[in-house]
Each structure stands twice: as structure tokens, then as C-alpha cells.
Amino acid sequence: MFKENIYANTSNTTDQIRKRSNTTQCPGSESAGRRDHRPAVVCLGLLCFLLLTALIVLVVYHSRVIHQAETQHNNLRKERDQLLLNYSLQTAERDQLLLNYSLQTAEREFDEYKKNHVCPSGWRRLSTSCYYISTEKKNWNDSRQACMQSGADLAIISCREEQIFLEGLSGYFWIGLSEREREGTWKWVDGTTFPVDEG
């Protein structure tokens, strides 16, 4: 019986220990069972704040870098456009200078030609043109043919000076003006139309 009693007490003791362990805790075990998570939460919150701050700083920095790059790109584009414009202006100025030089050279050569140009014997000279007044009486077509055989053509009056010169010549002569293609339309032998006043 004593053995039964010991076993009975043992089972009672085991039950009591289980009950006590459920309701009471050992000294110092209270802090182990319910830990204070506040420092960890504060650390995580601080870490999140720092990460968010770093992200904001990176976004602002990236935005500034992009803005600066766009500004620099626009400035470079404007500078390139200005350089192209300057290049075009310089090229146009150079071309104008070359044209002026060519024109001056041509004028000098023309003046030299005028000084030294001699018309064939029997021809009359006005500026750089030579005029021949034939003593033979021919119609307009035959006169033009004779001129063309000499490497010339009937006179085209292109300025008042030429008209006065021709009016001052003695005798009769044909000029290079006709209405052969269409009646009422006067043309010079070079194909230019003679203006006719209809008034």
C-alpha cells in the first residue's frame, strides 16, 4: 500500500507541477516569456525612416542631375545651332567676297578689252560692240544672212545710248526686230520680246 501511495502522490505531484507551471512562472522567466519588442520596433522604424530619407535624397539628386543634363543638352544644341548659323554666314560672306573679286576681275578684264578691242576695218565701234553698215541694198532676211556669215547679227537696241548712236549713222539699215512669228508680237533676233505700248 505504501507503494501505491507513493505512486498516487507522484501522479498528484506531477499534475500539480503542470498546473503550477501553467499559472506561475519561475523568477526571471516572466521577462523571458514576454519580451519587450519596443527597441526592435524603434530600430526598424528608424531604419525605415533612414531608407526613406535616402530614397528621397536619391530621387531629388537624380532629378537635379537629369535637369542639369537636359539644360546642358539644350545649351549645347543652341550653341551648335549658333555655330551652324555663324558658319553659314561666314560661308555666305566668303562667297560674296569671291563673287565681288570675280566681278572686279571681270570688270578689269572688260575695261582692258574695251581699251584694246579693235573693230574690223569698215566697222564702227560703240563700247564693246562693232556695227557694220553695208552699202548694198538688201531685204531684211538677206541682210541678216550677210551679218550671220560675218559672225554677227542685226542690231539689237538695248539702251538709249545705242539708239542715239544708230540714229547718228548715215544711211539706211535694218535692225534685228520683226514680227515674223506672230503678227502683233515684235521680237528681237535673240528671242526677247519688244515692249509695245498699246495706248
In a domain, 57, yes or no: yes
73 and 134 belong to one structural domain: no
In a domain, 183, yes or no: yes
The CATH number of residue 183's host domain is: 3.10.100.10
In a domain, 36, yes or no: no
Provide the number of structural domains found in the chain.
Answer: 2
Domain limits for position 164:
119-198
82 and 139 belong to one structural domain: no
Q: Mention every residue, 6+ apart, whose C-beta is less than 8 A from residue 137.
A: 172
- Per-residue tens of pLDDT for the chain, all 199 residues: 555 555 555 566 666 666 665 555 555 555 555 788 999 999 999 999 999 999 999 999 999 999 999 999 999 999 999 999 999 999 999 999 999 999 999 998 887 877 777 788 888 888 778 888 888 888 999 989 988 998 889 888 888 998 888 888 877 788 888 887 778 788 888 888 877 555 4
Question: How do the residues of the chain divide into helix, strand and coil, expressed in percent and rounded to 5?
Answer: 60, 10, 30
- What are the φ and ψ backbone dihedral angles of 40, each rounded to 5 degrees? -65, -40
Query: What is the DSSP-derived secondary structure letter of residue 119?
Result: P
Tell me the whole-structure pTM to 2 decimals. Answer: 0.40
190 and 132 belong to one structural domain: yes
Burial 128-144 (b: 16+ CB within 10 A, else e): ebbbeebeeeeeeeebb
108 and 127 belong to one structural domain: no
92 and 130 belong to one structural domain: no
In a domain, 18, yes or no: no
